[in-house]
Structure 1
Amino acid sequence: MTTQQERPTTPAAHDKQAPGMEDLARAVDDAAAKVADLPPEHRDVAEQLRGALDNLNKAALTTIVRALRDDDRGRELLFDIVDDPVVRLALMVHGIIRPDPLTAARQAVVAVEPMIGAHGGGVEVVRVDERVAYVRLSGACDGCSMSEQTLRDTVTEAIVSAVPAIDAVELVEPEPQTPAAFIPLGDITVRASDTGWIDAAAVGEIPRGELVARTLTDPYGASEDIIVVNLEGTLTAFLNVCAHQGLPLDDALIDEREGTLTCPWHALCYDATDGECMSLPGAALEQRPVRVDGDRVWVRLHG
């Protein structure tokens, strides 16, 4: 008699090679084209079916992500699977992860960079605050009579039309060159009393492998919530806002061995040296310059 252990087996469906990103995208495009060619009454039924399946998939994916995020063991697994391009695309399609407004605005100006470059200039999206994108023009465009016209007619249209979270665009003045955004502890001590530098913490208040969160206010009353990270003796500072949903990073996880900072809310993983998102290409934390003066850590806020 054949036991369960002796019973012949056949390759399981999950052992077959899964289709790649291009194959999946092509299948979706082909199906969408066929639906578009259906008679109106049939197309309506197909759209209803797609909408129902989308809602089902979104609810399921949201439940899975929340369960993984809220469990110490699951969080590590979530870090890994969100790096898979197919998983990441599915989560983005359903709005579970998405590019932040700053990243989206920077992507939007790529289309107009050739035109601005033809005038000998450049354009940079500096930050996004309260549905306003702040843009800096550089090169020949900066200060020329056409700078405001360029901003209003070209850059503004490109950003506002592409990013629903942004309603307006404002021009910011060029700022002088600043020191590097991170320095190793124990490096050259510099004066930190220059305008724009705010005392953030004592060096001893930021142990290796940890971060501190601070609300800093400049002499003019402007405030920013920032975090200062100590990664193997190197300090970096970022705006205390995750690029995903703008949630604070006070309890972010620091991995010195990997050099990463992981958001405690939805497990997006960032390079702790420059803020680049490793889970969602194109997204990034907003970095702030750091310097050490004696035993104090100073951070420069945006002007």
Structure 2
Amino acid sequence: MTVTDGVGLEELAGRVDAAVGALADLEPAARAAAEELKAALEDIHRAGLTTIVTRMRADDGARPLLFDLVDDPVVRMLLTLHGILRPDPVTLAERALAGVRPQLHSHGGDVALVRVDPLGGGYVAVVRLEGACNGCSMSSVTLRELVEEALRQGLPGLRTVEVAPAEPSPALIPVEALRMPARPVEDGWVRAGRAEEIAVGEIGAPCDGVIVVNIDQRLAAYRNECAHEALPLDDAIIDMAAGTLTCPWHGFCFDAASGECVSVPGVQLEQLPLRVDEGVIWVRTGR
């Protein structure tokens, strides 16, 4: 993709990297002056961009234009460099856990993020441990420590990690229930179809106001409401390469695995707890 005056994004990034690298070759006084100039310009740009984004987000007429601008690779790079566009704590925690899951799986364990709550200017991450991670043996303690260390490394500001009680196993489901529409069961859990019915890159048929998305064989459940105007996401567009889900109504683009809006910082789909028991998908709606 090309940008202004036909200059490519990679070329622009390369020029910045080369200029920053050249600072090391300057005399100390010249390097200090150049670095101060760089810092001052960055502060000015950050303040101006923050004001622009804040005002456009607050203006119903300007908000769609802001979403389009954030999709531009240069604008996205600029906002990211200045810390204006950044993942939310839930996304950071999910990424940290995704990085440690292969090791947990190799030992017969797993972990699920329940929620991330604010705590004293930082965060507390609540997780649910499964399999070999959930126990009192030395190996389970080691796996729990592995999870906690991954979260501390991946989620700046993490204060503590809490372990939620394991979910009770679901009761056996009569064969007749498999032919019935989803219905509330045990403490707000609803049956959302079978895992094999949702192909990779597809959205499962909505039920009880819930959609289930399959990205690279990983399932995620969301309230069937776009974070913009609460319109349904049944026909959302999934981009497997980018791992995104785009609302068909106004073009809001979300990370399909976490629900974070990649168009506008701070906007989030409501992600719901999900589990799969013997191929059946269960989602906790809380309703």
Identity of aligned residues (%): 43
Identify the residue that residue 277 of structure 1 maps to in structure 2.
261
Q: CA RMSD in A?
A: 4.2
Once the two structures are TM-superposed, the CA of residue 40 in structure 1 deviates from its matched residue by: 2.8
Identify the residue that residue 45 of structure 2 maps to in structure 1.
57
Q: Is the 8 A contact 2:109 2:129 kept in 1?
A: yes
Residue 85 and residue 177 in structure 1: after superposition, are their counterparts in 2 closer, same or farther (change >3 A)?
farther
Once the two structures are TM-superposed, the CA of residue 268 in structure 1 deviates from its matched residue by: 6.5
Residue 41 and residue 59 in structure 1: after superposition, are their counterparts in 2 closer, same or farther (change >3 A)?
same
Which of 106, 110, 116 is the aligned partner of 2:94?
106
Residue 256 and residue 101 in structure 1: after superposition, are their counterparts in 2 closer, same or farther (change >3 A)?
closer
Identify the residue that residue 31 of structure 2 maps to in structure 1.
43
Q: Is the 8 A contact 1:119 1:140 kept in 2?
A: yes
Q: 1:247-281: per-residue Cα shift (whole Å, max 9, x none)?
A: xx99942455875679xxxx964489x94535279
Identify the residue that residue 66 of structure 1 maps to in structure 2.
54
Distance 1:256 1:191 in 2: 20
Q: Structure 1: which 5+ runs fail to align?
A: 1-13, 179-186, 198-231, 238-248, 291-297
TM-score of the two chains, using structure 2 as the length reference: 0.61
Once the two structures are TM-superposed, the CA of residue 91 in structure 1 deviates from its matched residue by: 1.4
Query: Is 1:150 the equivalent of 2:134?
Result: no
Distance 2:144 2:158 in 1: 15
**Counterpart of 1:73 in 2: which secondary structure?**
coil
Q: Is the 8 A contact 1:252 1:261 kept in 2?
A: no
Q: Is the 8 A contact 1:253 1:261 kept in 2?
A: no
Q: Is the 8 A contact 2:125 2:158 kept in 1?
A: yes
Query: Is 1:166 the equivalent of 2:158?
Result: yes
Once the two structures are TM-superposed, the CA of residue 71 in structure 1 deviates from its matched residue by: 2.9
Q: 1:116-159: per-residue Cα shift (whole Å, max 9, x none)?
A: 3332323333321121112233333333612233223x222222
Q: Is the 8 A contact 1:269 1:277 kept in 2?
A: yes
Query: Is 1:236 the equivalent of 2:210?
Result: yes
Q: Is the 8 A contact 1:92 1:98 kept in 2?
A: yes
Higher RCO (CA 8 Å, separation ≥ 6 residues): 1
Identify the residue that residue 30 of structure 1 maps to in structure 2.
18
Identify the residue that residue 278 of structure 2 maps to in structure 1.
none
Identify the residue that residue 253 of structure 1 maps to in structure 2.
229
Residue 286 and residue 252 in structure 1: after superposition, are their counterparts in 2 closer, same or farther (change >3 A)?
closer
Once the two structures are TM-superposed, the CA of residue 51 in structure 1 deviates from its matched residue by: 1.0
Distance 2:126 2:162 in 1: 5
**Counterpart of 1:253 in 2: which secondary structure?**
coil
Distance 1:114 1:251 in 2: 32
Query: Is 1:17 the equivalent of 2:17?
Result: no
Q: Structure 2: which 5+ runs fail to align?
A: 171-178, 190-205, 212-224, 237-245, 275-282
Q: 1:166-188: per-residue Cα shift (whole Å, max 9, x none)?
A: 1111222332578xxxxxxxx95
Number of residue-to-residue matches in the alignment: 224
Return the index of the structure with the highest Cα Rg.
1
What are the within-5 Å matches in structure 2 for residues 131-142 of structure 1? 131-142=123-134
Q: Is the 8 A contact 1:151 1:171 kept in 2?
A: no
Distance 1:108 1:299 in 2: 23
Q: Is the 8 A contact 1:254 1:261 kept in 2?
A: no
Q: What one-letter code is carried by the residue in structure 2 that aligns with 1:63?
A: T
Distance 1:45 1:150 in 2: 49
Residue 123 and residue 271 in structure 1: after superposition, are their counterparts in 2 closer, same or farther (change >3 A)?
closer
Residue 162 and residue 42 in structure 1: after superposition, are their counterparts in 2 closer, same or farther (change >3 A)?
farther
Once the two structures are TM-superposed, the CA of residue 115 in structure 1 deviates from its matched residue by: 3.1
